[in-house]
Structure 1
Amino acid sequence: MELSATALALIGLLLAAWTAGAAWVMIAAGSKSKQAEQSRKAARRMARMIDEAPAIPLLVRADGRIEGSERLAGWLGIDKLPQYLSELSGERKDGSLAGLSPEQLADLTQKVRHTQRTAAPFRLSLTTAGSHRSLALRGYLADPQISPGGAALIWVFDFSESEGELAQLREDAARAKGDFSALVGLIEAAPIPMWFRGPDSRLRLVNKAYVKAVGAPSADVTVEKQLELVEPVDGLTAAQIAAQAAEQNQSIERIVATTIDGQRRSLRVSDLPLGNDGVAGYAVDIEEMEEQARSFRAFRDAQRSMLDQLSIGVAQFDAERKLTFANQPFRRIFGIAPSTVVVGTSFERLLSEAREQGRTPEVRDFPAWRKEHVEWFTSDEAQEEAWPLSGGTHVRMVAQPMPDGGLVLIAEDRTEQLALSATRDTLLRTRTAIFDSLFEALAVVAPNGTLQLWNRSFAGVWALDPEMLDGHPNAEKMLEAIAPNLARPKQARAIGEVIRAATLDRKRTAGRVLMSDGRTLEFAGVPLPDGNGLLTTLDITDSQKAEDALRQRAEALEEADAVKTRFLANMSYEFRTPLTTIGGFAELLEAGVAGALTEQGQEYVAAILNSVERLTEQVENVLDLSQSEAGLLPIAKERIELLPFVTKIVREREQAITDAGLTLDLRGGAGGKLEADARQLGRAIGHLLDNAIAATPKGGRILVDVGKPKGITRIVVSDNGPGMAKDELSRALDGLRASADGTGLERRQGLGIPLARQLIEAHGGTLEIISRKGAGTSATILIP
């Protein structure tokens, strides 16, 4: 059957349409396949980006199932991500925790359920036990397109490094805060004023010491009123100086004086710039240090002034071995000029200059010797040397290292000391020779009783064994050896007391003992300046015998004196009684009791009465002189007027003066009084006046001067007669003396002057007679 053309056309159209549809389907399929490939690539890219992202998503469904990347399992410290949220906590085979801890899992579960119910987001930070990572969780309700069942989407961030940095920052911040608090507390408690200024140089912070120093009630008041501690100096305030420190970006330190608590104090003020933050400052009270510095300077000046007064040379060197001071004796010993000290000459140069002047010992290698002495500066101990110099000078050198590295050099000129030492040795030998040559026995005993020194006579006087003394025995042993040689052995104790008093009590005592051989020894203990005691012994046997003889003679003289006294008493009666009888009978004859007398008889009677009167006066003089020499003259003192008393004595001799053709001049002032025996003193003045009348030729002149200068009575009787030579005056003063054979009296001159002297001395006065041949005689009576 043959198809029609229409059918064929339709079939052709259908096949063409089918072919076109197939082609279109093929083209569409290719496009979709290409899109699907692109979607897979995009999905792989997104998955890769999510795997490389710093945050990992975790989808928690409503039934607790979870979906997430295996990388999250590594963050949680587990091997594989479980299917449910409750399985994120567990244990490893070794028993250690893996994943989250039960407390962390419970907290996360609660927050997830709360977000699923309320769609409220949450944040949670935790550290896993398995990996010790710090994770930050941000939870949200998942978009329905992601999970339509009300799932929660959790983004997990790993901030372990940030957490470490944050922890370090927190630790640093806490430490800085603590340090700042400690620093603030330290500044607040600091004993020195401290402050802080802002960029505008105004005070912002002050401590308690600053507040106390300015006398403010509080720190706030101090900052508010801008109370400055330091006064302006040279027109610049403390704020202006702080501004200069900030501009120069350099600390400024100065010493200023300010008033604190009413006292002027020296402060060391420092301003420290702190960049753009401001300027800090503090003040240190250096008043005590300044005072110590002033005291040190004053001490150094006083010390150097004192060293200049010493006889020992002293020089000071500093740590650089330069001469800083040398006193006058040091400069004199080494011939140093004052300019040497001023320029600070080095120690080596000083030794060289001293060597040039011959002021160092002569040595073979001087540079080596000088180098050895330079080591004195580094020595640990003082060094001492003896330097024999030219000209016989000997110097003792002492080098004392100082803690500051310097050196003190002491030079002592021992030339004179050595000479004195040699002289001392000579004196000691001389003393020993003299000590042994004395007749007196001597021994020196130390305070502990040990016999130190003795001479040769000591052992012989005390009959001791010289070998025993050579052992320097003590006093007790020596006394035990002396005791058997004494007539009374117990007297050895008295010798010991004398030794003890001289050595311990420092008293001088003496004693006397009788030896068994009949000798008499006198001993004494004398304290010596060195603390020892000297026992001196003298054999007084011969002098004792002479003393006994003298004692017997003295007793005989006392007996003779008693006989003399009795003789004078008897003679006074025996002389006066006959004279009185003769005078009485002569007066009776003169009165005519026995009848009228002839003219010649009257003359005889008158001559008898005159002789009796003269003899009575002579007897009175002899007896008074004898009694005065024997100390038996009675003196009855009374208060008398001096001038009337002397005038009366002169008036009694007025006739004799007139008959001798003499003139008398009586001088004196009224008012003078005297305690004296009027009769005896009158007799003394009368004798002197009678001698003047008798010795002055006719026409002569006698002067009597009475006065009381300085409370001493003075009576002067002078004449212009021929005077006496020295031997004549001596004989006149002697009067009566015992004859050469001792059996009678020898009259050398009249009795007037000797008697007057005795009478004046009986009143405690003195008689001075001055006479020159041809110039007259002057007798002066002085009575206190």
Structure 2
Amino acid sequence: MELTPSAMALLGLMLAAWTFGAVWLVVGSLQRARAARHARNTVRRLSRMIDDAPAIPLLVRADGKIEGPDRLAKWIGLDTLPGFLSELGGGLVDEELKDLREAVRRTQKTAAPFSMVVTPKGSTKSLAVRGQLADPVIATGGAAMVWWFDFSESQGELARLREETARARNDFAALVGLIEAAPMPMWFRGPEMDLRLVNSAYVTAVGAKDAASVVDKQIELVEPVDGLSAAQIAGQAHSRDLPVERIVQATVGNQRRTLRVSDLPLGEEGVAGYAIDIEEMEEQTRAFRAFRAAQRSMLDQLSIGVAQFDPDRRLAFSNQPFQRIFALPGSARVDPPDFDRFLDLARDAGRLPETRDFPSWRAELAAWFTQDAPVEDAWTLPDSTHLRIVAQPLPDGGLVLVAEDRSEQLALSATRDTLLRTRTATFDSLFESLAVFAPDGRMQLWNRRFPAIWNLPEEFFDEHPHVDELLDRIADRLARPGQRTAIAEVVRAATLDRQQRGGRVVLSDGRTLEFAGVPLPDGNGLLTVLDVTDSTKAEEALRERNQALEEADAVKTRFLANMSYEFRTPLTSIGGFAELLQTGVAGELSDQGKEYVGAIIASVERLSQQIESVLDLTQSEAGLLPIATEELELLSFATQVVRAREDAIEAKNITLDLRGDKSAGSVQADRRQLSRAVGNLLDNAIAATPEGGRILVALGRRKSGARIVISDNGEGMRPSELARALDGYRLSGSDGKDGKRGLGLPLARQLIEAHGGRLEIQSEKGGGTTATVKLP
């Protein structure tokens, strides 16, 4: 069959179309294959990107079924991702899961997004969850797309930032409150140096109504100084970016106070300032300076040397005793030396101990500055001066050096030791037994005689026994053991009551001991014990003799009373009968009889005077002479005594010179007895004065009393003769014959002494006799 050309053409077209279609199919398939490969690569790349992304998507469908990568399971602590949202309870806390389900349900219904933070169980991760309604392309039917973010680091940082922010906010609030409550004025200036902020103390200091008025009126606390205002000085601190501090005077309230003002630049923000009231500090500083001056003045008055070195180890102060002890030159005040130089100066002056290695010793002393406690040392200087050195380190690094001259103290200590040894030797050599008891009753000291007098061993006293122990040991040695209480009371009175008491005990061996307690100035008590056995026996003998003497004195008194009657009665009778005979009662007498009667009357009168003198002398010696005092004017009294002896004076042609006037005054005396005493002295002077001799009677008065002087120019007496005359013995005359017994002088002396006076007689053989009567 032959094909026509049209058929051939049609067949060619069909073949061409089929070829074109085949080619087109091949090209299309190739393109689709490339698109499929590209899509697969894109999906793989997107899957890898999702796997490496910081957020993991989770698709939650309306029925609660979930779709997501397994990496999310690892985040919430599960092995594999479950099929439903409610099955995430194995990795999330029940409450957080409940909140998540509620949020997903609300998003599915309302398409409202949500965000929350969950923490897997047993993990410290913080997962941020953000949910929204899923795009219909991803899922239809109201599915929700939940994105999970691991922001543990960000959450920690955010928590730290929140905490720091809260702390900063609290600190700022506290700082603002602190500034507001600060007792000192504080303020803040802006970049233009105008006041922006002030606290309450500033408002009170300037006397404003409130802080706003201070800022509005720009009320400055500090007045301009040297033409510069407070704002200008703050501007200088701001421009230099350096704090400025100054001390100025300002009016705070209604008082002028001293303030320390500080301006602190705060960069571009402005300048802060505050003012501290240092008025009290200034007052304390002035008081401290005055105290330091007074203290140093007081230290100059001490006998102990005191010096202070500053932290640079330079001598800051030294009192005069310190300078004198170490012989510091006067230049030390103008140019104070350091510690090493001070030691060199003292060494040159010979006021340091001799040492072999002086540099090493000086370095040891320099270590005093760094000690933790005071250091005490003793120095012996070349001139035998002993110094007690005390080095007190100061907290600021300085040093106080105290030097005390203890030479005199050591000498006194040596003297005290010598005195103690002397006391011990004296105690041991005393005849008495001594013991010293402390206030607690314990024995402190005793001598060797104390154990011996009680027959106790010396070892018993080595332990310083108590007084009760001592009394227990000696109780069996007492004749009456109850007398131990008396000894205890004496010791207690001497130690505690500070009273002196004594007593006497008798021992069982017959000895008698006398004891006494004496309080000592140191608070102790001294017990003295003396064996008075012999003296007791002698005392008893003397007591017996005294009793006998008292009886004899009573007999003598009775004898004197009887003799006064027995002597005077016969003499009175004889004198009376003689006077009767003389008057012619018994008849007219012859001349010779009258002469005998006159002799009898004269003898009776003379014998009466002698008996009177003997009785007065005896009564005066016995203290029985009655004295009736009255006021006597000396001049008239002496004149009467002289007048009574005028005949005897004229009989021997004696010149009597009576010297005195009314300036002699008067005395209190018994006229009769004093007349007899002065008359006896005058009678002795008349008897001792030869014919034609001279007697002087002088009256006078001195501060001690009145004086009567009777002087003659007779032959006088030797001292032995004067002593015998004062005792009333018989005297020998110049011719070798025995003289009369002189009772006048002893009687005169007794009568004068009975008046409280004194008789002094001075006599010289061939030079006369002078008797001086001194009356009060």
RMSD of aligned residue pairs (Cα, Å): 4.9
Answer whether contact 1:736 1:747 (CA < 8 A) is retained. Answer: no
Give how far 1:323 is off. Answer: 1.6
Alignment of 1:333-482 (within 5 A): 333-482=325-474
Return the letter of the residue paired with 1:503. Answer: T
**1:89 is matched with which residue: 102, 112, 119?**
112
Answer whether contact 1:314 1:408 (CA < 8 A) is retained. Answer: yes
Answer whether contact 1:386 1:394 (CA < 8 A) is retained. Answer: yes
Could you tell me how far apart the structure 1 residues matched to 2:196 and 2:760 are? 107
Name the SS for the 1:336 alignment partner: coil
Structure 1: stretches of 5+ with no match in the other structure? 1-85, 101-128, 132-166, 740-745
Give how far 1:635 is off. Answer: 1.8
Could you tell me how far apart the structure 2 residues matched to 1:214 and 1:652 are? 117
Alignment of 1:212-227 (within 5 A): none
Question: Is 1:526 the counterpart of 2:549 in the alignment?
Answer: no
The residue aligned with 1:690 is 683
Could you tell me how far apart the structure 2 residues matched to 1:270 and 1:278 are? 13
Return the letter of the residue paired with 1:528. Answer: L
Give how far 1:519 is off. Answer: 1.2
Closer, same or farther: CA 277–623 of 1 in aligned 2, 3 Å: same
Answer whether contact 1:193 1:283 (CA < 8 A) is retained. Answer: yes
Alignment of 1:143-542 (within 5 A): 182=177, 185-186=180-181, 190=183, 245=233, 253-254=246-247, 267-268=258-259, 270=261, 282=275, 284-287=277-280, 289-542=281-534
The residue aligned with 2:611 is 619
Could you tell me how far apart the structure 2 residues matched to 1:173 and 1:320 are? 45
Answer whether contact 1:450 1:473 (CA < 8 A) is retained. Answer: yes
**1:718 is matched with which residue: 707, 710, 715?**
710
What whole-Å deviation, never above 9, does each CA across 1:480-532 have from its counterpart, x for those lacking one? 11111111122122222222222222322222111111111112223333333
The residue aligned with 2:240 is none
Name the SS for the 2:498 alignment partner: coil
What is the number of equivalent residue pairs in this alignment?
619
Closer, same or farther: CA 256–620 of 1 in aligned 2, 3 Å: farther
Answer whether contact 1:509 1:524 (CA < 8 A) is retained. Answer: yes
Return the letter of the residue paired with 1:703. Answer: V
Could you tell me how far apart the structure 1 residues matched to 2:502 and 2:386 are? 47
Alignment of 1:73-152 (within 5 A): 89-91=112-114
Could you tell me how far apart the structure 2 residues matched to 1:779 and 1:738 are? 23
Alignment of 1:27-66 (within 5 A): none
Return the letter of the residue paired with 2:112. Answer: S
Answer whether contact 1:732 1:754 (CA < 8 A) is retained. Answer: no
Could you tell me how far apart the structure 2 residues matched to 1:624 and 1:443 are? 55
Name the SS for the 1:560 alignment partner: helix
Answer whether contact 1:194 1:283 (CA < 8 A) is retained. Answer: no
Deviates more, 1:565-574 or 1:661-670: 661-670
What whole-Å deviation, never above 9, does each CA across 1:118-167 have from its counterpart, x for those lacking one? xxxxxxxxxxx999xxxxxxxxxxxxxxxxxxxxxxxxxxxxxxxxxxx9
The residue aligned with 2:743 is 751
Return the letter of the residue paired with 1:683. Answer: R
Structure 2: stretches of 5+ with no match in the other structure? 1-108, 119-128, 134-145, 149-161, 238-242, 732-737
**1:765 is matched with which residue: 753, 757, 760?**
757
Give how far 1:624 is off. Answer: 0.5
Closer, same or farther: CA 658–375 of 1 in aligned 2, 3 Å: same
Answer whether contact 1:681 1:760 (CA < 8 A) is retained. Answer: yes
The residue aligned with 2:628 is 636
Return the letter of the residue paired with 1:686. Answer: G
Could you tell me how far apart the structure 2 residues matched to 1:362 and 1:672 are? 82
The residue aligned with 2:696 is 702
In percent, how many aligned pairs have the same letter?
55
Deviates more, 1:388-397 or 1:513-522: 388-397
Closer, same or farther: CA 474–585 of 1 in aligned 2, 3 Å: same
Name the SS for the 2:565 alignment partner: helix
Could you tell me how far apart the structure 1 residues matched to 2:231 and 2:464 are? 90
TM-score, scaled relative to structure 2? 0.66
Closer, same or farther: CA 474–606 of 1 in aligned 2, 3 Å: same
Closer, same or farther: CA 460–246 of 1 in aligned 2, 3 Å: closer
Closer, same or farther: CA 214–89 of 1 in aligned 2, 3 Å: closer
Closer, same or farther: CA 318–678 of 1 in aligned 2, 3 Å: same
Name the SS for the 2:403 alignment partner: strand
Answer whether contact 1:228 1:238 (CA < 8 A) is retained. Answer: no
Give how far 1:391 is off. Answer: 4.2
Name the SS for the 1:703 alignment partner: strand
Could you tell me how far apart the structure 2 residues matched to 1:619 and 1:257 are? 116
Answer whether contact 1:266 1:290 (CA < 8 A) is retained. Answer: no
Return the letter of the residue paired with 1:494. Answer: A
**1:559 is matched with which residue: 551, 556, 560?**
551
Deviates more, 1:371-380 or 1:384-393: 384-393
Give how far 1:367 is off. Answer: 2.5
Question: Is 1:681 the counterpart of 2:679 in the alignment?
Answer: no
Closer, same or farther: CA 278–544 of 1 in aligned 2, 3 Å: same
Name the SS for the 1:529 alignment partner: coil
Name the SS for the 1:681 alignment partner: helix
Answer whether contact 2:728 2:745 (CA < 8 A) is retained. Answer: no
Return the letter of the residue paired with 2:520. Answer: L
Give how far 1:381 is off. Answer: 0.8
Could you tell me how far apart the structure 2 residues matched to 1:749 and 1:219 are? 130
Could you tell me how far apart the structure 2 residues matched to 1:580 and 1:716 are? 35
Closer, same or farther: CA 671–705 of 1 in aligned 2, 3 Å: closer
Could you tell me how far apart the structure 1 residues matched to 2:332 and 2:707 are? 79
Give how far 1:625 is off. Answer: 0.9
Give how far 1:317 is off. Answer: 1.4
Return the letter of the residue paired with 2:772. Answer: A
Answer whether contact 2:193 2:270 (CA < 8 A) is retained. Answer: no
**1:727 is matched with which residue: 702, 706, 719?**
719
Question: Is 1:571 the counterpart of 2:563 in the alignment?
Answer: yes
Return the letter of the residue paired with 1:89. Answer: A
What whole-Å deviation, never above 9, does each CA across 1:632-684 have from its counterpart, x for those lacking one? 11122345555544444344344444554424435333895654333223322
Name the SS for the 1:337 alignment partner: coil
Answer whether contact 1:524 1:537 (CA < 8 A) is retained. Answer: yes
Could you tell me how far apart the structure 1 residues matched to 2:681 and 2:214 are? 109
Could you tell me how far apart the structure 1 residues matched to 2:481 and 2:227 are? 102
Answer whether contact 2:443 2:464 (CA < 8 A) is retained. Answer: yes
Answer whether contact 2:378 2:388 (CA < 8 A) is retained. Answer: yes
Could you tell me how far apart the structure 1 residues matched to 2:252 and 2:591 are? 129
Deviates more, 1:635-644 or 1:245-254: 245-254
Name the SS for the 2:521 alignment partner: coil
Could you tell me how far apart the structure 2 residues matched to 1:700 and 1:582 are? 38
Could you tell me how far apart the structure 2 residues matched to 1:581 and 1:775 are? 42
Could you tell me how far apart the structure 1 residues matched to 2:418 and 2:253 are? 71
**1:602 is matched with which residue: 569, 585, 594?**
594
